[in-house]
Amino acid sequence: MKIEIWSDVVCPWCYIGKRRLERALGEFEHAGEVEIEWRSFQLNPDAPAGQAIPTLDYLAQRFGPEAKAMVARVADLARADGLELNFDRALTVNTLSAHRGIHLATERSVASAAEERLMRAHFTEGADLSDPEVLASLLGEVGLDPDHVRAVLDGTEYADAVRADAEEAQALGANGVPFFVIDRKYGISGAQPADVFLHALRTAYAD
């Protein structure tokens, strides 16, 4: 069974959805037969490259005074799933380089570890995921060669793959993330409860 997951490393619902899927897999009788493939989707592909804006400032510009209450609600929901989202430390950036790094991690079979590390770095630690040095260090922690990461990010490798992932998501009808596709038959949008994922996994397996 194959699960493709379109997500962005700066998307709180993607982090929450990842955790809920993991909980469902913990109860799924055939979890050992599941392959997960991470696919790229940039929530804000037009964000200026090389700029890091405090997320609370960015959200205040977009949503006004409601922004603080909005992120507080999301942080409370995430806490129930064991996640610490520090929006007061998070930085809004263009995530193209991060996604290119994850494509490299996919080739080295450490994509899930890379996704987890980058999400925690963004939401909990306030890391700048547009900084090549930061990405090289973080991806080095999950087994990639930091020098190789730097060399990749210094060029344009995997940029086409990132764009192709986004185009494929749109072709499948995904307007946002997280978006989960099981065996190209079952699609799940959003950070659904773990029991929804578990039901989908069992249904897909029986099929």
| pLDDT tens-place string over residues 27-77 | 999 999 999 999 999 999 999 998 999 999 999 999 999 999 999 999 999
Tokens 């050992």 sit on residue = 32
Which pLDDT score, from 0 to 100, does residue 184 have?
Answer: 94
Spell out the domains of the chain, with CATH numbers in brackets. Answer: 2-45+95-121+132-206 (3.40.30.10)
Looking at every residue in the chain, the average pLDDT score rounds to 97
Is this structure's pTM higher than 0.85?
A: yes
The residue type at 185: K
DSSP string, 120-172: HIIIII---TT-HHHHHHHHHHTT--HHHHHHHHTTTTTHHHHHHHHHHHHHT
